[in-house]
């Protein structure tokens, strides 16, 4: 049997294709984020699925594989300004902080016990109650919060120290909730020295500032502007202390209603510099941070 030139070329190409193994498609791994989803009244939205979230790594959209309630306990550092300038809000602390602790227990998924530490910021960061799941122990720490005459706040020092502690302990779902008055910031810290350990810790930063806005240092202002946004947390400014209890309940409800959003990404040697989550659903606000996926399967 003889072959024409065209037929012979087809046979040779087929033989060459059979001899050369196909290059495997790029492998994918799973990663996940802890994500808050809130309506316009800042209430958690239930029943969301993969189609409701858009995850991007360095502005490249990734496939969302599954969405489920977050099933990892929170580790919350509750930092409270007890400087002289926070003295007018001491009575509000007595209502808002127990309400926050109680709401964490009441709104959590069954079987999940969150850890909370209570840390004062007046004069220097001071642990009043170390991380505990016992509400009674945490309330004892709250009862030890009194304003210190002649003192200022050390919020930036507190963020640094708490972030380093989170890194040492290897927490899987850390959160920093800071309440501070509009008094002088006495931490002598460059904003980069604060944001670097915060980023490394993986903690979401929530900040509630009380009182009329005042001229603050550039470093403090920058940290409060960038830190919550970058970490998947939130910044809030309340002019009156009476609104603090309601706001703390909202934060507790948000944290305990978060989703774990798992997505696929190509396996590469260089990790993404930035991971973001958004939603195309109108009126839905989402924010989140990457989870510590130590097993590569979207779970810690």
Express each pLDDT in 246-277 by its tens digit: 999 999 999 999 999 999 988 877 888 889 99
pLDDT at residue 217, as a whole number: 85
The domain locations on the chain are: 28-70+259-290, 75-256
Q: In what order do the strands lie in the sheet with 234-238?
A: 126-132, 115-120, 75-80, 174-181, 204-210, 234-238
pLDDT at residue 225, as a whole number: 93
pLDDT at residue 175, as a whole number: 98
Average pLDDT, integer, range 134-141: 92
pLDDT at residue 26, as a whole number: 56
Cα of first residue to Cα of last residue in the chain, in angstroms, is 64
Note the helical H segments in the chain.
5-19, 90-107, 135-143, 155-169, 191-201, 218-231, 244-256
Assess contact for 132 and 116: CB atoms under 8 A.
Answer: yes
**Tens digits of residue pLDDT in 176-204:** 999 999 888 999 999 999 999 999 999 99
pLDDT at residue 44, as a whole number: 96
**Tens digits of residue pLDDT in 152-182:** 899 999 999 999 999 999 999 999 999 999 8
pLDDT at 96 over 90: yes
Q: How far apart are CA 7 and CA 83, in angstroms?
A: 88
Q: How far apart are CA 286 and CA 48, in angstroms?
A: 11
Of the two residues 215 and 28, the one the predictor is more confident about is 28
pTM value? Answer: 0.87
Please count the other Cβ atoms lying within 10 Å of the Cβ belonging to residue 272: 16
CATH architecture of 75-256: 3-Layer(aba) Sandwich (3.40)
pLDDT at 107 over 80: no
Q: What are the Cα distances from residue 294, in Å, to 56, 67, 280?
A: 20, 19, 29
Q: What are phi and psi of 83, to 5 degrees?
A: -75, 175
Q: In what order do the strands lie in the sheet with 259-266?
A: 275-278, 54-57, 60-69, 259-266, 28-38, 285-290
Please, what is the average pLDDT of the chain? 88
């Amino acid at each position: 049997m003889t072959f024409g030139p065209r037929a012979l070329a087809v046979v040779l190409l087929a033989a060459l294709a059979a001899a050369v193994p196909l290059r495997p498609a790029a492998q994918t791994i799973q990663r996940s984020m802890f994500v808050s989803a809130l309506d316009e009244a800042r209430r958690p939205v239930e029943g969301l699925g993969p189609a409701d979230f858009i995850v991007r790594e360095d502005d490249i959209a990734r496939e969302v594989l599954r969405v489920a309630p977050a099933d990892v306990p929170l580790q919350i550092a509750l930092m409270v300004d007890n400087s002289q300038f926070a003295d007018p809000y001491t009575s509000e602390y007595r209502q808002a902080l127990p309400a926050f602790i109680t709401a964490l227990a009441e709104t959590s998924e069954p079987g999940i016990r969150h850890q909370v530490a209570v840390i004062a910021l007046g004069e220097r960061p001071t642990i009043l109650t170390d991380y505990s799941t016992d509400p009674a122990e945490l309330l004892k720490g709250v009862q030890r919060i009194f304003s210190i005459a002649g003192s200022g706040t050390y919020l930036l020092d507190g963020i640094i120290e708490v972030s380093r502690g989170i890194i040492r302990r290897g927490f899987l779902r850390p959160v920093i909730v800071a309440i501070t008055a509009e008094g002088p910031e006495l931490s002598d810290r460059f904003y980069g020295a604060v944001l670097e350990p915060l980023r490394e810790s993986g903690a979401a930063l929530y900040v509630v500032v009380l009182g009329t806005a005042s001229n603050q240092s550039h470093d403090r202002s920058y940290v409060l502007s960038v830190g919550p946004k970058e970490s998947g947390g939130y910044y809030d400014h309340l002019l009156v202390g009476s609104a603090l209890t309601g706001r703390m309940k909202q934060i507790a409800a948000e944290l305990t209603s978060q989703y774990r959003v798992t997505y696929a990404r190509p396996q590469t040697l260089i990790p993404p510099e930035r991971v973001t989550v958004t939603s195309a659903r109108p009126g839905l606000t989402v924010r989140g941070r990457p989870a510590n996926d130590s097993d590569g399967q979207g779970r810690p």
